[in-house]
Amino acid sequence: MKVSSPVRELILARQPGYNLPAPFYTAAEIYDLDMDVIFGRHWIYVGVEPDIPEPGDYFTVKLGRASIVVVRDDDMNVRAFHNVCRHRGAQLCNEHKGSVGNIVCPYHQWTYDLSGKLIHNEHMGQDFDFSRHSLKSVHVGNLAGLIFVCLAEQPPADFEEMRAAMEPYIAPHGIADCKVVMQDDFVEAGNWKLTLENNRECYHCVSNHPELTSSIYEYGFGYQPSPANAEAVQGFQELIEREHARWEAAGLKSAEIEMLDGRVTGFRTQRLPLDKAGESQTMDARVACEKLLANFTDRKLGGLSFWTQPNSWHHFMSDHIVTFSVLPIDAENTLVRTKWLVHKDAVEGRDYDLARLTEVWKATNRQDGALVEMSQRGAASPAYEPGPYSPYTEALVEKFCNWYVERLRAALD
Ligand code: FES
Ligand SMILES: [Fe+2]
């Protein structure tokens, strides 16, 4: 990978324990590098199986300059293709979501089946070789209904380890039997790494997220005991132990797995107790949907959280799922795509109220967006210099940045 010498120097000289230098948040060259090395060669979370429940259902997603179409084929497999016609290259699917029998290019009607095979065109002559003009496929990783894509020719093989570790945690929540009842696309005016860094700590939660902290304990999000809060953290640990024993006895895996750095496909999970009624991430911590997921009868399953490098986090509760993907737009703007899922048989107005279901994370996303924007403005100032991480609350931010810098270093010539 070719990079300029100042950027190479920045990548090699990164100081552990400190925020990244400003160009990582502002420079066009580093944004291009991120789109090539990070978003072009890793497993990127893009959506859920219920986005495309029927054959022919599709959604599109932009990864840098690439547009990808993710489609359900006739055999119910999830496939992904570059959204580019093999004739003169027009973009094929121009809506975010839709449903088709075949994929027909709007320009000259070249027609592809749902396996990407070119099956029809006109005026190309008798000897035209259809077999050489299939859509270019993109790798799909399906983790219990969470859909990841990878643009690399050889995708990172350790996705399989993540799948093996995570399926027992996620599968009981039955994603395939859910429906997406809300998607919120929200643009944060900041570099995508600021979005991720902000997600990887809850140092900011108590003072910025009144709605979210109605139900969550910030200690579950990377806190280490400090002299100031050793007792509270200890109390939370004891609560975790009690609840984990109860959940594990019911067949729900709950223990923390922390594999965020030192590997290509980094991830972390833990099932975390919730405050108050302990049922769901809502204002009163009670379920937002009366029809529970899967075959659950216990409302009090806390929140199973799952974080992946480089672009996602997810919360699975007894009654609903909230899932987030981070999609860079340019060096200073990032799309955060949030989806809320409930059981497919749940009825709006009877089992759930959409405003109540979505209010906590809609508010939290807006608050996080404001924090990211402030961070971006600070990083753009000539006075910015990387500051130190809190050893008690920001270890997971550091792991994200360590993972990121490791991945760039591994790609240097
Ligand atoms: S560009 Fe697609 S059919 Fe011509
Ligand atoms: Fe936040």
| Pair of tokens at residue 78 | 């999830």
Instruction: Using DSSP bridges, classify how beta strands 78-82 and 66-72 pair: parallel, antiparallel or unpaired.
Output: antiparallel
Residue 32 Ramachandran class (φ > 0 left, ψ -120 to 50 alpha, else beta): alpha
Report CA 360 to chain centroid distance, whole Å: 18
pLDDT for the residue 118: 98
Contact call for residues 48 and 146 (beta carbons, < 8 A): yes
Instruction: Using DSSP bridges, classify how beta strands 103-104 and 97-99 pair: parallel, antiparallel or unpaired.
Output: unpaired
pLDDT for the residue 202: 95
pLDDT for the residue 386: 97
- CA dist 407 → 54, 151, 252, 256, 411 (Å): 37, 16, 33, 24, 6
87 Cβ inside 6 Å of ligand 1: yes
pLDDT for the residue 413: 82
| Pair of tokens at residue 144 | 């219990």
Task: Specify the domain boundaries for CATH 2.102.10.10 within the chain.
Answer: 44-142
pTM of the model: 0.97
- CA dist 248 → 168, 169, 215, 243, 292 (Å): 11, 10, 22, 8, 19
pLDDT for the residue 229: 87
The strand pairing partners of 178, in sequence order, are: 343
Contact call for residues 58 and 79 (beta carbons, < 8 A): no
Between the CA of 310 and the centroid of ligand 2 the distance, in Å, is 17
pLDDT for the residue 228: 86
Give, for all 413 residues of the chain, the pLDDT tens digit. 789 999 999 999 999 999 999 999 999 999 999 999 999 999 999 999 999 999 999 999 999 999 999 999 999 999 999 999 999 999 999 999 999 999 999 999 999 999 999 999 999 999 999 999 999 999 999 999 999 999 999 999 999 999 999 999 999 999 999 999 999 999 999 999 999 999 999 999 999 999 999 999 998 898 888 888 889 889 999 999 999 999 999 999 999 999 999 999 999 999 999 999 999 999 999 999 999 999 999 999 999 999 999 999 999 999 999 999 999 999 999 999 999 999 999 999 999 999 999 999 999 999 999 999 999 999 999 999 999 999 999 999 999 999 999 999 999 98
Ligand 1, residue 90: give the atom nearest the CA: 1
| Pair of tokens at residue 313 | 């986090």
Burial class (CB in 10 A: 0-12, 13-18, 19+), 363: middle
pLDDT for the residue 271: 98
Task: Specify the domain boundaries for CATH 3.90.380.10 within the chain.
Answer: 165-411
Q: What distance in Å separates the CA atoms of residue 212 and residue 217, rounded to the nearest whole number?
A: 9
Residue type, 107: Y
* Sign, Cα dihedral of 338, 342, 346, 350: negative
pLDDT for the residue 374: 98
pLDDT for the residue 40: 98
CB atoms inside a 10 Å sphere around CB 142: 15
Ligand 1, residue 121: give the atom nearest the CA: 3
In sequence order, the 6+-apart residues with CB closer than 8 A to the CB of 250 are 298
Q: Which of 107, 119, 128 to mutate to test the pocket of ligand 1 (most atoms within 8 A of CB)?
A: 107
163 Cβ inside 6 Å of ligand 1: no
Q: Domain 44-142 adopts which CATH fold?
A: Rieske Iron-sulfur Protein (2.102.10)
Q: What distance in Å separates the CA atoms of residue 283 and residue 285, rounded to the nearest whole number?
A: 6
Q: Which of 69, 108, 124 to mutate to test the pocket of ligand 1 (most atoms within 8 A of CB)?
A: 108
Between the CA of 154 and the centroid of ligand 2 the distance, in Å, is 34
CATH 3.90.1310.10: does it fit domain 165-411? no
pLDDT for the residue 2: 85
Ligand 1, residue 109: give the atom nearest the CA: 3
The residue nearest atom 1 of ligand 1, judged by CA position, is 88
**Omega before residue 391 within 30° of 0, cis:** no
Contact call for residues 132 and 121 (beta carbons, < 8 A): no
The residue nearest atom 3 of ligand 1, judged by CA position, is 108
Nearest to 325 by CA among 58, 80, 51: 51
